[in-house]
Structure 1
């Protein structure tokens, strides 16, 4: 029996790239899929409603079942309509995968309010709008799978992506909270940090790519695979087989799947009373401050 037989899934950002790969694989595993995509450009401009329908057509040609949805994830009304699309067409909802995203790369000192707001709206709020409305159903039915999309840009940091990195690290935190809020109802929430060659990664400016490379940060988080390589792990997490996996972040690229660690204490200094500034100045360098990693050291002063 197919892994997702009789399941209904929503995949946002499913018109291209990773989302498209997820939607098609889930459909091949028996799920009925809501292919959600506005068909915008990488920066969020423009609209092409045919993009989602094209993926629906591809799924249909392969014997699967899908319906297109072109609502925006960036509004609460849009998120609700996306969830309603699943219910109206297929009678229920079991799986939510939030891949939708845009890029507005800029160094933080040049970033505009609009560039910040637009990226946060699609990635972080766009994850919340769909998950919030889906979680109401999941809580009632005592089951559900939530798979969100984080990024090494937020988990580790990439130059020129203050907006994107903040959103992606926020999504990781959001997912951990959802796991705790919903776990008691039989719902799981996990995040994927993917690395794959897509429209989004290939759009990173050469200047930013060179800067990241000089600092040991690959423009994609390390290994680079194809967009379709991410789909199997997402599909498995969406299945009943993964009911014990909750609240984790996985880095997925090519044939590599890595469980990322939770934040944990590394070094500690402690005293019975409050530290003074002078005490910290004397103790810190030889304790917590030993061999601290600096992701962007300042150049030596010129002679």
Structure 2
């Protein structure tokens, strides 16, 4: 239905359409005529949505700060999960992972050759030289924020440290490639170029995703791609950038026993960093990191 200029905007801002998203819609309609893939209104977060997403992000960031403060050799991944659960609940939020499609814990802890979805365990003790990804998603008022960080346990090998550092640089390169009215493929192209330049592979079985009003939304964010291709990145979109970079092959397999944890096929190291970002009118804003 076509809105009149003085109608309330479809985004729920309470503003008149002409003062809110009329220009946005005009740009989208031009891009449609150019046969570009464009987001629909359901992928655009309102100011009310963003208020709650930011609150979820604040707690999520604080949870990961707490993990960073406490993590050490001799600690179990089960203890990390307990920290995440306790802090989240004590601050009036909910850990999104807990019970999600049967996942048994409040966060994912992926160690060394575990690519993602590692299940915390009180019998899994971190040791000097390990690298571990802790992935948390927090719900506040039905809104979600998602991020993960890598942690090096004590002194790690030069190769492990390089992988962790370059993976973070890959995520940051992907985020730096985001432009309002740019393309989704720009993100993957930037990540892929930097990873391959350093002799690493990029996992293709998993990617980033829209987030905010649900845990996983459209679009799927590929971490490989071609610049100038893919969905248009319109202001108001919220999604994760979370490259998983492998020391060896990009191929992986999923643990047949728990049905969740992915491992590198060749047993070499894997690393991942994840941020939740918002496409703005003039760039990008990090919400959760």
Same fold per superposition (TM over 0.5): no
TM-score, length of structure 1 as denominator length: 0.25
Greater share of helix: 1
Q: TM-score, normalised by structure 2?
A: 0.26
Higher strand share: 2
